[in-house]
Amino acid sequence: MAAAMNSSEKKDESSEEKGGELLFCGATAWDIIGKRKGAMEGNLVSPTRLRPLVGVNIRFVASGCASFHCVALDVEGRCYTWGRNEKGQLGHGDMIQRDRPTVVSGLSKHKIVKAAAGRSHTVVVSDDGQSLAFGWNKYGQLGSGSAKNGFVSVEVESTPLPCVVSDEVTNVACGADFTVWLSSTEGASILTAGLPQYGQLGHGTDNEFNMKDSSVKLAYEAQPRPKAIASLAGETIVKVACGTNHTVAVDKNGFVYTWGYGGYGRLGHREQKDEWAPRRIDVFQRNNVLPPNAIVSAGSANSACTAGGGQLYMWGKIKNNGDDWMYPKPMMDLSGWNLRWMDSGSMHHFVGADSSCISWGHAQYGELGYGPNGQKSSAAPKKVDMLEGMHVMGVACGFCHSMVIVDRTDIADRLEQVTKARVSSFYLSPQ
């Protein structure tokens, strides 16, 4: 969401204002996920309500395929964060881990409507088009504009500060250590900042330089000021998603562009070379351009979108074993479904379609939501039984967790079952 961000920007306004109930599944041992192997306490293998957010009208959730933290926005424009915080990515002015969703007080003067999460940074957008960011800034990924000798002067910003994007921001997406903004400005509708190592900023360079004259010690010059992608100046970009080190974007004509790290075929160009500037994907042209309601998603090593007729296409490293998909191929298991939402984590995927939730991929911590008696992983898309019949209003995937917003209408008793399904750590509702 990645990834990682919500993948359906064109939402029904009434549902966005209405909000719904946030359900969470996956790992909650934030301090050790991704650092240690083996069993961990507190995994939520079924979609579960979070006590601080029970009854709160959540309308947007964000995490990322490299993220160990979560962001949720309510209909009032409040921003809640929780999870790992060693780089100040929760925005509370400290580096203390939060197990409970906690309102970011530094954003209280803004109504926050969009958000995105990187490995250790968070970027938000307000209803008046301002963008603010907090967390790790080593590579300039906060877009605050400050740099010195190729490096930023302040590596951690634990409270929200403005991004140097002068125009009205319409959306944002984060890779592991970079950020992409969409702007309403004609000719500069997409801007990027952060780590340029694999060309993921799209500016035609990786900004590599030698730190020492006497020896070969390479580094990558930070890009701390959001910069418009020159090669897309004539296009209006309307959708974007970021993997760990690659970017997928769609213009108003339905053409798809990818750039950045090319390993495993995640860029969809039938080869594995890195692309330092946006390159159009052949498959999505002529009679197969993306419709306005298309969804776009990027995982750590794969990409996905819906094209004509709502057919889901994927490419890159789709499974832990087997051949990589070097170009977009239709996911036939999901043909005929009306996909409205999708996001991708490190190696798992969550989809909201019709009145079902579908997940699949490699998982260890319950992030697919199949329940205590269900399988951990699934190579094929599979319904999340506990969410069957619920109307999904948003999804987001992190490194090892998933979040789903569901419409509460007529499902109060179902939500009680969800609550009772698992009695877990102190901050999860065990009524």
Q: For tokens 């090669």, name the residue.
A: 231
Q: For tokens 């907090």, name the residue.
A: 134
Measuring CA to CA, which residue among 123, 109, 105, 127 is closest to residue 59? 127
Tens-place pLDDT, residues 257-288: 999 999 999 999 999 999 999 999 999 999 99
pLDDT attached to residue 423: 38
Pairing type for strands 121-126 and 112-117 reads antiparallel
Q: Does domain 13-129+179-186+234-420 have CATH number 3.30.230.10?
A: no
Q: For tokens 């881990």, name the residue.
A: 97
pLDDT attached to residue 428: 46
Measuring CA to CA, which residue among 230, 286, 288 is closest to residue 259? 230
3-class secondary structure, 179: strand
Tens-place pLDDT, residues 387-419: 999 999 999 999 999 999 999 988 888 887 766
pLDDT attached to residue 384: 97
pLDDT attached to residue 276: 97
Q: H or E element: which one contains 163?
A: none
On whether the CB atoms of residues 144 and 161 are closer than 8 A, the answer is: yes
Give me the percent of the chain exceeding a pLDDT of 70: 90
Average pLDDT along the chain, 431 residues, taken 10 residues at a time: 41 60 96 77 92 95 98 98 98 97 98 98 97 96 79 87 92 98 92 97 90 72 94 96 98 98 98 98 95 97 96 95 94 95 97 96 95 94 96 96 94 75 42 31
What DSSP assignment string belongs to 314-350?
EEE--SSSS--EEEEEE-GGGTT--EEEEEE-SSEEE
Token pair listed for 61? 């959730």
pLDDT attached to residue 149: 57
Q: Is the pTM of this model over 0.75?
A: yes
Amino acid at 39: A
State CA 141 to chain mean position distance.
15
On whether the CB atoms of residues 331 and 378 are closer than 8 A, the answer is: no
